Structure 1
Amino acid sequence: RITYWTQNLHKLGYFPVIVTRAWNPEIRTHHDTKLPLGHEVKVEKYPTHEVHYLPFRPGMLDWGYLNFGETWLRPFFLLIRLLDVFLVRFSLRFTSFANYLPYLKDLIGKQHFDKMIISAEPFYLFRLGYSLHRKFGIPWLADYRDDWSTNELQMEKTGSGVRKWVAKLESNYEKKWVSTAESVISVSDPYTQRICDFLVKPGITIQNGFEESLLDLPESGLYEQFTLIYSGVLYPSQDIRMILDVLDQCLRRDRPFKLIFLGAGFDAKEKRRIESMVPLPLKPWIEVTERFPRKRALEILQKSHAFLGMAYGKMKGIPSSKLYEYIALGKPVLLCPTDQDLMEEILKESGLGFFAKNASDGVDLIL
């Protein structure tokens, strides 16, 4: 999304300058994203754009995750989370984005910029738009790759009083910070409408896409065993019981398949959650992997026979970004269970979709 804009906005007469954090291409786990990286700003200049990579230093919350997040001391991390969400009301100084505001102030003071797009998440970056608009009057657009406090996937987690308090605070931040934006951008019409209604702001929908280079990947041999791959984060609302039932029925017919959750083990506690749901007889056929470097992940995806998508429970209008990557790779996609909504619509348009309303449908489609 951002890469495409960066490489193509010059066609409309713009010269984009991208400011982002330093990234390690070898990231495998959630823990890796929190580690310090870089010592000075790295600027890459091209004829059509620039990219500024800022050194990354973990702020209070990320420091807490590194030290307590996946240990028996996790309650300390949750306390730090509460302090973090309170302090961000006043400043980003204690966050991992502390160096953004001074750097951007200096950059805007030296160069003229017509507009600014801030792409989230992390949603705390929207505070930069609020601060820079107040100081320089620069018009800005809030680009939501997901929605924030109106996000159903997050709201389903807000069961405890503490979570509800955090959600209320963040809702207030969103209204205050994005009030200074000209408009919002999101990735589906339901998302855009929900955000615009909440903020009383105009907005437009720009769907997700895929890297054009995916269309030119060389062909790769397939796994010997029929293999179905789900790529990316697996949310609690995505019920895997149906696909597990499909696998169980196929196993009983002596025609099992390999099921890989590629990158779903990026977060250690999510890996444990997923693996705990798998019945013992099915464990030899299921793999939950860490995140792989991009090149390696694509090699694995290319070797699969088909891809797996799953509805987000009863939630509608959620455009899984992985669907676009699946489409680019040109393999069949089993939507099991189907959402009978936006994801099914996207896959029908591509001609690659197969849709299961129940386990029997899934078995028939695979066998």
Structure 2
Amino acid sequence: MERVFVISYIYPPCDKTGADRALAISKYFHLNGYYPVILTRNWDYPLKEDLDYMRSTGDHIVEKNYDGHQEVYLPYEGNFRTRFKIKYLNRFKLLSKVLFFIDFLLMSIGIYRFSEYKIFYDYLFQYFKTHNDVKKIIIIGAPFHMFHIGFLLKKRFNVEWIADYRDDWTTSEIQSNKFMSVFHKIIYQFECKAEKKWVSTASYITSVSDVYTKRIADYVGVAGETVMNGYYEEQYQDSKPEAYTLFNEFTIFHNGTLYPTQKVEIFLEGYKLFIDDRIRGTNKCKLLFIGIRYWEGISEKIESVLKGYEDYFELTYRIPKQELIDIMMRSHVNLMISHGKHIRGIASSKIFDYMMSRKPVICSPSDGDIVEELLTRSGQGVFCETPQEVYQELCKLSEKYMQKEPYDSPFNEEEVVQFSRRVQTKRFAMLLDKM
């Protein structure tokens, strides 16, 4: 098998969603004739809050060899900015902003010696000076400054590379320029130039939706291919709906975070109407936001909107994936909050797990784009644009609960199978074949 480097800052045991991109490559690439070497940082420090991702961990390189892939964990040492952040938290805010500005400015113009990613550069430059057995690499962003590594390896060693975008970078519609601080606007200008310069040396760019792929490819002038996220087949082999006993309460399930552009208030206001009219006093309904407490500010927003309804919702910290799947499979309905019709191309990875639950998915509001398309193709979508529509659909869905009827949607198995991680990962291999 041909060896290929896959550079991913985020990788297990880090449990962020972005780790799944590289993890899928490690699981399935060997089926396509490639032996991936996953290059990541050490993640031995327990990850309980955002600051834990900045803490230094590991004092030597750890290599783990498997039949189908290799993992290389590099010791991580935070730079001055991250150490300052950990030590002083939110004190000295002005100085912290200045350090942030200097750090990201240096990375944006390609000066990496003071970067927290320095160990990646050092390892790869030393490797390519002494080895010639790897000709192709995949770099997974974010962090997008890692793309500078591909730029330098192409320049110095003529290595072919793919820039894989889990999200878009400077073309992002979520991080609108008009909401940026002065510091961020200056950095943004440098990053725009850096993205074009660095990624223009890639053989291909890949991203998670056709909208993202086209927008990024047009911006950097490189051919693009869509490689969607997906679900792991093996996680659901024994997870058929009939194998689970549904919760006694009518349960609505949401997984993961929310961004300011996701108007969760539409659903929450409809949910309150539903509780007041159908549920109040019975304690037979629960709205679960699993993992939402990990992100500062989001849970407080939900608690504010649902003040007075504390008996009917629950917010949790992150939990292990299998436990999350168990809760999802025991719930009656899944909840999807899109970014609305003004932002296109965002297909959150949770949608693929929702597909495998074979349960109805309330999407409120709909995006009129990829989320609506996917849920329509799978047969699970219930689309609500107003609180009144949310109320009406919850009434219909709860009737099945009251009558103890099954919660099967008109699920389209043939449509969904193409969204497995195994199938999507093959698209990476097909691009490598062309390089």
Fold match by TM threshold 0.5: yes
Confirm whether residue 319 of structure 1 aligns to residue 343 of structure 2.
no
Deviations 1:230-260 (A, max 9, x none): 2112000001111111121012114263222
What percentage of aligned pairs have identical amino acids? 31
Distance 1:348 1:173 in 2: 38
Distance 1:300 1:36 in 2: 34
Distance 1:295 1:311 in 2: 24
The residue type equivalent to 2:262 in the other structure is Q
**Correspondent of 1:4 among 5, 24, 32:** 24
The residue type equivalent to 1:308 in the other structure is L
- Give the equivalent residue in structure 2 for 1:133: 154
- Note closer, same or farther for the CA distance 1:12–1:114 as it changes in structure 2 (3 Å cut): farther
Given that 2:354 and 2:361 are in contact with CA atoms closer than 8 Å, whether structure 1 keeps it comes out as yes
Residues 73-152 of structure 1: pairs in structure 2 closer than 5 A: 73-88=92-107, 89-108=109-128, 109-152=130-173
- Give the equivalent residue in structure 2 for 1:255: 279
- Note closer, same or farther for the CA distance 1:139–1:264 as it changes in structure 2 (3 Å cut): same
**Correspondent of 1:182 among 175, 198, 203:** 203
1:24 positional shift: 4.6
- Give the equivalent residue in structure 2 for 1:155: 176
Deviations 1:279-305 (A, max 9, x none): 421344333322223333333333322
Q: Secondary structure at the match of 2:293?
A: helix
1:73 positional shift: 4.0
Q: Secondary structure at the match of 1:331?
A: coil
Confirm whether residue 212 of structure 1 aligns to residue 233 of structure 2.
yes
Q: Secondary structure at the match of 2:322?
A: helix
**Correspondent of 2:258 among 231, 234, 238:** 234
- Structure 1 window deviating more from structure 2 (343-352 vs 80-89): it is 80-89
- Give the equivalent residue in structure 1 for 2:248: 224
Distance 1:139 1:305 in 2: 47
Given that 2:270 and 2:391 are in contact with CA atoms closer than 8 Å, whether structure 1 keeps it comes out as yes
Given that 2:58 and 2:76 are in contact with CA atoms closer than 8 Å, whether structure 1 keeps it comes out as yes
- Note closer, same or farther for the CA distance 1:33–1:244 as it changes in structure 2 (3 Å cut): same
- Give the equivalent residue in structure 1 for 2:362: 334
**Correspondent of 1:32 among 40, 48, 52:** 52
Distance 1:67 1:273 in 2: 28
Given that 2:266 and 2:385 are in contact with CA atoms closer than 8 Å, whether structure 1 keeps it comes out as no
- Note closer, same or farther for the CA distance 1:182–1:194 as it changes in structure 2 (3 Å cut): same
- Note closer, same or farther for the CA distance 1:205–1:119 as it changes in structure 2 (3 Å cut): same
Q: Secondary structure at the match of 1:16?
A: strand
- Give the equivalent residue in structure 1 for 2:35: 15
Q: Secondary structure at the match of 1:268?
A: coil
Deviations 1:4-46 (A, max 9, x none): 2223222332221110122359533322222222222211112
- Note closer, same or farther for the CA distance 1:67–1:273 as it changes in structure 2 (3 Å cut): farther
Q: Secondary structure at the match of 1:175?
A: helix
Given that 2:147 and 2:198 are in contact with CA atoms closer than 8 Å, whether structure 1 keeps it comes out as yes
1:113 positional shift: 0.7
- Structure 1 window deviating more from structure 2 (157-166 vs 237-246): it is 157-166
- Give the equivalent residue in structure 2 for 1:361: 389
Deviations 1:117-155 (A, max 9, x none): 101111111111112112211011100011100011122
- Stretches of structure 1 lacking an aligned partner (at least 5 in a row): none
Q: Secondary structure at the match of 1:184?
A: strand
- Note closer, same or farther for the CA distance 1:254–1:157 as it changes in structure 2 (3 Å cut): farther
Distance 2:189 2:288 in 1: 37
Q: Secondary structure at the match of 1:298?
A: helix
- Note closer, same or farther for the CA distance 1:358–1:76 as it changes in structure 2 (3 Å cut): same
**Correspondent of 1:306 among 319, 333, 352:** 333
Distance 1:298 1:366 in 2: 22
- Structure 1 window deviating more from structure 2 (7-16 vs 45-54): it is 7-16
Q: Secondary structure at the match of 2:58?
A: coil
- Give the equivalent residue in structure 1 for 2:270: 246
- Structure 1 window deviating more from structure 2 (55-64 vs 38-47): it is 55-64
Instruction: Report the count of equivalent residues.
Output: 365
Residues 21-60 of structure 1: pairs in structure 2 closer than 5 A: 21-24=41-44, 27-60=47-80
Distance 1:298 1:77 in 2: 39
1:346 positional shift: 0.2
- Stretches of structure 2 lacking an aligned partner (at least 5 in a row): 1-20, 396-435
- Give the equivalent residue in structure 2 for 1:164: 185
Distance 1:337 1:346 in 2: 15
RMSD after superposition: 2.2
- Note closer, same or farther for the CA distance 1:251–1:214 as it changes in structure 2 (3 Å cut): same
- Note closer, same or farther for the CA distance 1:27–1:327 as it changes in structure 2 (3 Å cut): farther
Distance 1:151 1:112 in 2: 36
The residue type equivalent to 2:347 in the other structure is P
Distance 2:310 2:187 in 1: 37
The residue type equivalent to 2:114 in the other structure is F
The residue type equivalent to 2:220 in the other structure is L
Distance 1:160 1:307 in 2: 36
The residue type equivalent to 1:100 in the other structure is F
